[in-house]
Amino acid sequence: MTPLWTAFEIASVTDGEVHGGFSATGVAFDSREVGPGDLFVALAGENTDGHRFVDQAFAQGAAGAIVSRPIAQPHVLVNDVTAALSAIDARPHVLVRDTMTALNELGAASRARSAGRIAGVTGSVGKTGTKEALFQALDRAAPGLAHRSVKSYNNHTGVPLSLARMPREAHYGVFEMGMNHAGELAALTRLVRPHVALVTAIAPAHAAYFSGEEEIADAKGEIFEGLEPGGIAIIPFDSPHRDRLLAKARRHAGTIWTFGRGEGADVRALSSARTDRGTAVVARLPGGELRYTVAAPGDHWVSNSLAVLAAVEALGGDLAAAGLALAEMEGLAGRGARSRVAVDGGEALVIDESYNANPTSMTATIRQLGEEPAKRRVAVLGGMRELGAKSDDYHAALVGPLLAAGVDYALLVGEEMAPLASRLEGSVDFDHVPDAAAARERLLVRIRPGDAVLVKGSNAIGLARLVEAMTSGAMAGGKT
């Protein structure tokens, strides 16, 4: 395998000191994720210091480390010069002034040496799913030559890490970028320097930090500031903030494409229909029409697929391969994964949307629950965080989508759900519990065979643990 980084390359990029040569094939800053051959970057955070876990990283096979203070070598008894030299080189590392700065410098150097086409993805909802679908579409046509940020590594540490991990020979790079304050995306996009910058949708996510959706749109529009000369901006045509995003993109992009259902969108869904394999879509693109299937359920995934196709075309990728990838890609863990789980007397369907939530994504997934064929429709809804002064109103407003979807039972989790509980009195069977542990105990006695169960809430609520309990079989046989 071609080395991703050598000790001397790292030292050159970071102005560091080499203490023992090494070659690394991967990069990690979480010691729990370190594998054989990885470079471990010892970041100093607010709650912990990565230097405490250097020994653990090397025990797990790290090839080397980036540190900001010298590493003490192990004390061993040796009988010859060869053994002594091996002991000295037991923890090869590059010593730098600041490890976070070094990680950013690695990310910038990786981007500078890449000849690949780069896409940046942001949005209030749908950015992780769209990023994954875009990666799958590109990888389908160029196996092993597409790279993307994993998980939701989309912040000031995740983005440079994802860049630093990009293989030298990558033809494509897809990077997710997130924010909860103005100015954050501007810094990230200038690091990524995308050829294509995509905004999926605007919604009141992290609304506590903004005066309204207009400010959120402005903050998301910062992604266009880092576009390479002549770059392409991709914007949601049907968004009420389209014109605001267009105005921002015109200052930085060489070309602007829109996607959506509305007449005038550059990439437009002409029709869509549910089938037993997903949603069949006919889309018009600048180069003609494409018929394809989206395996992931929900109308929001039709929109995501249009964004993916626009980005594939903008990157010069293979649209036919993209259509095949969309037909094969199902929901991701925490973002739509579907599982049949054992419950007493039979099975239930679990729809895992536990990773995050805001009013727009809540409404979309509740609507999708209403379309599920099931004996009962069950919604397990956790509180939505960071919504600011309108939090109570946003939560209470979910009564409409729940009633429209024909939800038979709602299990509300967290104090944020109190306004919705008040609105549901007398209209829907529901329980309101304080936390995920209580939700698990309640659902244990309420779930039935034939149920379709949607689990969704902000990540901090911890509903992923409930999903894990259900999918591990802990909801059957009276287990707790």
- Of the candidates 329, 346, 347, 349, the one whose C-alpha atom is nearest the C-alpha of residue 338 is 349
Residue 248 has phi, psi (to 5 degrees) of -70, -45
pLDDT, residue 298, reads 84
CB atoms within 10 A of CB 172: 26
CB-CB contact of 161 with 108 (8 Å) = no
Measured CA angle at 358 (ends 434, 347), to 5 deg? 65
Beta strands 117-122 and 196-199 are parallel
Q: What is the pTM of this model?
A: 0.86
pLDDT, residue 84, reads 46
Strands of the sheet containing 376-382, edge to edge, are: 337-343, 346-353, 451-456, 376-382, 409-413, 429-433
- Rounded distance, CA 87 to CA 79, Å? 11
pLDDT, residue 331, reads 77
- Of the candidates 359, 353, 365, 363, the one whose C-alpha atom is nearest the C-alpha of residue 385 is 359
Domains of the chain, first to last: 5-99 (3.40.1390.10), 114-328 (3.40.1190.10), 337-471 (3.90.190.20)
DSSP string of 286-320, one letter each residue: TTEEEEEEE-S-SHHHHHHHHHHHHHHHHHT--HH
Neighbouring-strand partners of residue 146: 172
**In sequence order, which ranges of 121-221 are alpha helices (DSSP H)?**
127-141, 158-164, 184-192, 213-220
Q: Which two tokens stand for residue 143?
A: 């196996």
- Of the candidates 131, 181, 137, 170, the one whose C-alpha atom is nearest the C-alpha of residue 151 is 131
Kindly give the confidence (pLDDT) of every residue in the chain, 480 residues in length, as a single tens digit, with 9 standing for 90 and above: 689 999 999 999 999 999 999 999 999 999 999 999 999 999 988 788 999 999 999 999 999 999 999 887 664 455 555 554 455 557 999 999 999 999 999 999 999 999 999 999 999 988 999 999 999 999 999 999 999 998 878 999 999 999 999 999 999 999 999 998 899 999 999 999 999 999 999 988 777 778 889 999 999 999 999 999 999 999 999 999 999 999 999 999 999 999 999 999 999 999 999 998 899 999 999 989 999 999 988 888 999 999 999 999 999 999 999 999 999 998 788 888 899 999 888 999 999 999 889 999 999 999 999 999 999 999 999 999 989 999 999 999 999 999 999 999 999 999 999 999 999 999 999 999 999 999 999 998 999 999 999 999 999 999 999 999 998 876 665 433
- Rounded distance, CA 274 to CA 277, Å? 8
pLDDT, residue 77, reads 53
Compute and round to an integer the Cα radius of gyration of the chain.
24
pLDDT, residue 276, reads 84
